[in-house]
Amino acid sequence: MKPITLSDLARRYGYFLDFLDRSGLLDRRGAAAGNVTPENVAGYLTKLQKRVSSVTVYGSIYKLRRASQLLDPRRDFRWLTEIEKDLAMVMRPRSKADRFVLTEVLVEHGLTLMAEADHSTNCSDLARARQFRNGLMVATLALHPIRLKNFASLEIGRNFVNIEGQWWIILGASETKENRPDERRLDDMLAPSLEKYLSKYRDVLAQKSESNALWLSSADGQPMTYSAVADAIKKTTLTAIGVGVSSHMFRTAAASSAAVHAGQSPYLASALLHHRDPRVTEEHYNRASSLSAAEALRTVLQGYTKAER
């Protein structure tokens, strides 16, 4: 497993142990995964269902089961698998409809934010640098929708490199979820903005930091964390567009925009998202069919209205 997966499983298992500890149920001398009993899980499940969404409840139990099996592969956790299946049947994912925008909207607003920051005269240099950085993040992720863990960890000279005057995102197989390399040349549309960020605004953000990270915090000049990048992107899109678009929704936007504007290239969306199986793209990301249907209906209604007039 990749370190980020192991860390996530450890954190989720830790939440379970913390619940038991605060409830006076934790057996500190028990065997590995010995605290994972039907009684303890039932109490944990009751607490989760009162506090978090059905999707988070399912994810918590799913990851508790995976962690438990890793800790003690000889124990029988089929009872926990059954609970997990029941939760999967009743979970209700939050609708993406209120957070869905197309890629061109994200790119346009990213470019607009950078232009506004570049011409602003009523805010500090640090504030301008922060806005320019955020605009560049939005536009870059929209055009190159890699996974957030890779986007947040871009480092100049390592996986973000200049080759013969062109900037490239170069991810090794060990860095991607699919365990295969992913190489993307930065779109020409972003080249001038990137050069301005690197030559001017990044230095303002860096302060005294000597980090090679592409995205630097405006607070201390240190590399932005995964959470900080996610938060900045969501807050920036909320301010600029009126919709807080999560980094994951950038991938939905890319797949749907590819289908809407390049329907003749059926595998474009899969390539953009680095998926081996196009069905994964269709199932989880593509909202183009509903958009196309809505557009067709609008055209029909417009024609009918004109005929009535």
> Measuring CA to CA, which residue among 201, 40, 222, 204 is closest to residue 136?
201
**pLDDT confidence of residue 102:** 82
pLDDT, mean of residues 122-146: 94
% of the chain at pLDDT higher than 70: 82
Please say if the pLDDT value at position 210 is more than 60. Answer: yes
CA dihedral angle for residue 179, residue 212, residue 226, residue 267, rounded to 10 degrees: -40
Beta-ladder partners of 148: none
Give pLDDT tens digits for 16-74.
999 999 999 999 998 989 999 999 999 999 999 998 888 889 999 999 999 999 999 99
Please say if the pLDDT value at position 272 is more than 80. Answer: no
**What's the farthest any 2 CA atoms get from each other in the chain?**
81
What residues contact 292, with CB distance under 8 A and at least 6 apart? 259, 260
CATH number of 111-244: 1.10.443.10
Beta-ladder partners of 183: 170
User: How much helix, strand and coil, in percent to the nearest 5, is found in the chain?
Assistant: 65, 5, 30
Cα-to-chain-centroid distance, residue 116: 26
Q: What is the mean pLDDT of the chain?
A: 85
DSSP assigned state of 201: I
pLDDT, mean of residues 79-88: 90
Question: Residue 274 in contact with residue 176, Cβ under 8 Å?
Answer: yes
Residues of the chain with CATH 1.10.443.10: 111-244
